[in-house]
């Protein structure tokens, strides 16, 4: 008996835990759109996309949208993946940062740019969020 592989865009099997989420793994499309909150539950924004290092396969950054209304006036922050912690009780990623610190954080465009092309900028971002650099893990 042969079975056809799902076509691109066919998500008929995406509800199963083997393709979407396990106790240790989650599909990238389930992370995108997830809320980012402070430890007290206050909303900061949402994850727009993940930036993955091609060679190692490690998630390097999450690009988070912040502020704005209906997509207008939004800012985007490249947050080191190591600075985020998933909180199942909030069904959100947490980051320990104040509103002022977030407003002053280094920003990138909505497309995320290529932060890896500027190691000094990457080091600055990791220091700002007090996160271990992904390239040393």
Q: Is residue 16 part of a domain?
A: no
CB atoms within 10 A of CB 125: 23
CATH number for the domain that contains residue 120: 2.30.30.240
- Give the number of domains in the chain: 1
Q: Is residue 40 part of a domain?
A: yes
Provide the domain limits for residue 55. 27-136
Q: Is residue 19 part of a domain?
A: no
With beta carbons less than 8 A apart as the criterion, state whether 107 and 77 touch: yes
pTM above 0.95, yes or no: no
With beta carbons less than 8 A apart as the criterion, state whether 128 and 105 touch: yes
Q: Is residue 34 part of a domain?
A: yes
CA distance 94 to 39: 6
CA distance 38 to 18: 30
Terminal Cα distance for the chain, rounded: 44
pLDDT tens by residue, 6-58: 333 444 444 444 467 777 788 888 899 999 999 899 998 999 999 998 988 89
Q: Is residue 15 part of a domain?
A: no
Q: Is residue 11 part of a domain?
A: no
Q: Is residue 52 part of a domain?
A: yes
């Amino acid at each position: 008996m042969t079975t056809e592989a799902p076509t691109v865009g066919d998500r008929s099997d995406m509800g199963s835990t083997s393709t979407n989420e396990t106790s240790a793994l989650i599909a990238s499309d389930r992370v995108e759109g997830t809320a980012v909150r402070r430890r007290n539950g206050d909303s900061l924004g949402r994850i727009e996309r993940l930036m993955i290092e091609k060679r190692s396969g490690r998630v390097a950054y999450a690009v988070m949208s912040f502020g704005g209304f209906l997509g207008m006036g939004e800012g985007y922050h490249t947050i080191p993946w190591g600075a985020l912690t998933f909180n199942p009780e909030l069904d959100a990623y947490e980051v320990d940062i104040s509103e002022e610190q977030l407003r002053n954080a280094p920003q990138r465009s909505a497309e995320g740019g290529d932060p890896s092309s500027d190691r000094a900028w990457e080091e600055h971002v990791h220091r700002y969020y007090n996160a271990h650099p992904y390239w040393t893990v």
